[in-house]
Structure 1
Amino acid sequence: MLSLEEKRCVLERAYIPEHVIPLMEGLSGGEAHLLGDFLFFVGVDWLIMVGFPLRESSSPELQSRLKEAELRFRPERLWFVGPELPDFLEKVCLEREEDKYFRLDLRTPRGAAWAPPGKLKRLVAKAEQRFSVELKSSFDSPHRQLTRELLERADPGARVRELYRRIPSYLEQTKSAALLSAWDSRGRLAAYGFLELAPPHFSVYVAGASSRESWAAHASDLLVREMAHISIQENKQFMHLGLGVNPGISRFKRKWGGVPWMDYRACGWSMPLSATRRFLKTLGGMS
């Protein structure tokens, strides 16, 4: 378990969502541990290594810290995320992901006020006439229905489904997150978005959902503008938009001025107890 001071230091050095301890603990159900300059999240039989160092680090340290975590926690399932996939993990990966993080810079030249780019300003102004934006932490029945529609339509993987499943309980227990909801005049929920504000230098757009019905057009755009305004009010330098995920989501993020910022590589593998010693050998041998 990390002390309050350790958690504060991690947040101060954070630059990706996986460094945001309250967010990761709340949505993964694991507990944060710090080994050197690397953050780990540990559950009953699993482990996530955040391979983005909190300070400059070297590949040998990454390898030694993963070995240390394996010896200490003895997980059966492991997941690694980092800017690149280390060579020593190539042989054990059963699942792989490649993507890029997107960010929206809220600082503008000469200190000018941030504004939606291009024609989005006009579209958002029109959406503002049709929707009212509510800011509260209650994840109610309309939010759950919109989430079900999204998951049925997109059919994402198990990890994404688990993330959405944990959002309601996380919003109930945290004070650093904001749930924004766009409602029309008939009381219908057009879209919602979940923003994390814990990091001192940036905010994180975590997740959201929107109706595909024609009456809900551009509700998500209105929420992005509101999230950007909240982030600016909280003195954030940028809004972390997460991963590109797919071409459609990437286009939406680029439309808002989001730019590909940092490579993301992920690797998942299983560790039956009988394989533990073999895996440790790939990390440098047993002592």
Structure 2
Amino acid sequence: MITIEEEKYILDRAYIPEHIVGLMTCVSGGEPYLIENYFCCRKDDWIILVGYPLERDSTVKDLEVVIAETKKRFRPKYLSLIAPKLPSSLGALCEEKESDSYYTLGIPIGPIKSNIGRLIRKAQENATIERSTEMREAHQELTEEFIGRVNPPLRLRNLFLKMPDYVGHAEGSVVLNAWDNNKNLAAFYVVDLAAKGFSAYVIGCHSKKNYVQGASDFLCWEMIEMSVEQGKKYVHLGLGVNEGIRRFKKKWGGLPTRAYEMCELVLKRPSILDAFRSMQ
């Protein structure tokens, strides 16, 4: 576990969403730890290690030392690692790998593009934005609609399903709602304000059933306005994910500013004895 002072240390130096303690403990269900200047979460025999050092002068060699220390200290069966660059020693050992880039948007952003402005004005005619710290039945219905329509990967599906517990319980969590003129939820964004230097877009979706043109742009504008009010230096827009999402982030001026690599490791294989025990 970490102390209040250690959590403040992490949030003061955070520069990616995975450094946000409240977000990570909610999503993983684990307990937070600091190993050297790296943040991690532990749940049972699973460790999530955030390989982005809180002190910027660390090296890949430092990360290898921390991985070894993590394995020695916790003896996990599973290790999920994210880092700007994976140690070469892990290359062949990863059960699952992923590469992407983090996108960020410096604020204030200055005049917005004319096409975005038109979409926002159109949305303002048909929707109202609300800032809230709770998610209600309407959010569940929209989430179910979105999951049924898009069939997102399991990891993203699980993230959506954990949002009601996260929003309102984690300090700094906010949900931005776009309600249409008939009081239907047209879209929502979940945003985290806990990190000192930035706001983090966590997740969001829009409705086709209660569609409002420009609702996502309206919410993005509100997120930026809120971030400026909170004195943030930039908005962290998360990963590129796919071409459609990258296009939206770039449209707003988001830039790929940091490399992302992910590796899932299985450190302990079940033995023959374990197999027999599971049959009893």
| TM-score, normalisation: structure 2 | 0.92
Partners of 2:265 and 2:168 in 1: CA distance = 32
Equivalent residue, structure 1, for 2:95: 94
Equivalent residue, structure 1, for 2:275: none
> 1:208-267 CA deviation, whole Å, 9 max, x = no partner?
110135842211110000010000000001000000111111111111111111110001
SS at match of 2:177: strand
Partners of 1:273 and 1:215 in 2: CA distance = 48
RMSD: 1.6
Relative to structure 1, the CA distance from residue 146 to residue 214 in structure 2 (aligned partners, 3 Å threshold; closer, same or farther) is closer
Partners of 1:135 and 1:254 in 2: CA distance = 25
Partners of 2:244 and 2:116 in 1: CA distance = 17
Mind listing any 5+ residue stretches in structure 2 that lack a counterpart? 272-280
Tell me, yes or no, if structure 1 residue 156 matches structure 2 residue 152: yes
Equivalent residue, structure 1, for 2:142: 146
1:10 Cα offset (Å): 1.0
* Cα pair 1:117 1:257 within 8 Å, conserved: no
Partners of 1:68 and 1:273 in 2: CA distance = 20
1:223-238 pair list within 5 angstroms: 223-238=219-234
Equivalent residue, structure 2, for 1:134: 130
1:196 Cα offset (Å): 0.3
User: Deviating runs (4+, > 3 A) in structure 1?
Assistant: none
Aligned residues: 270
Q: Percent identity between the aligned chains?
A: 37
Q: Kindly provide the amino acid, as one letter, of the partner of residue 17 in structure 1.
A: P
* Cα pair 1:115 1:121 within 8 Å, conserved: no
SS at match of 1:173: coil
Tell me, yes or no, if structure 1 residue 20 matches structure 2 residue 16: no
Q: Kindly provide the amino acid, as one letter, of the partner of residue 124 in structure 2.
A: E
Select the residue among 252, 256, 264 that pairs with 1:256. 252
Mind listing any 5+ residue stretches in structure 1 that lack a counterpart? 109-113, 276-287
> 1:177-226 CA deviation, whole Å, 9 max, x = no partner?
11111011111111000110001110000001101358422111100000
* Cα pair 2:186 2:210 within 8 Å, conserved: no
Tell me, yes or no, if structure 1 residue 47 matches structure 2 residue 24: no
Tell me, yes or no, if structure 1 residue 242 matches structure 2 residue 238: yes
Between 182-191 and 58-67, the greater mean CA deviation after superposition: 58-67
Partners of 1:85 and 1:217 in 2: CA distance = 41
| TM-score, normalisation: structure 1 | 0.90
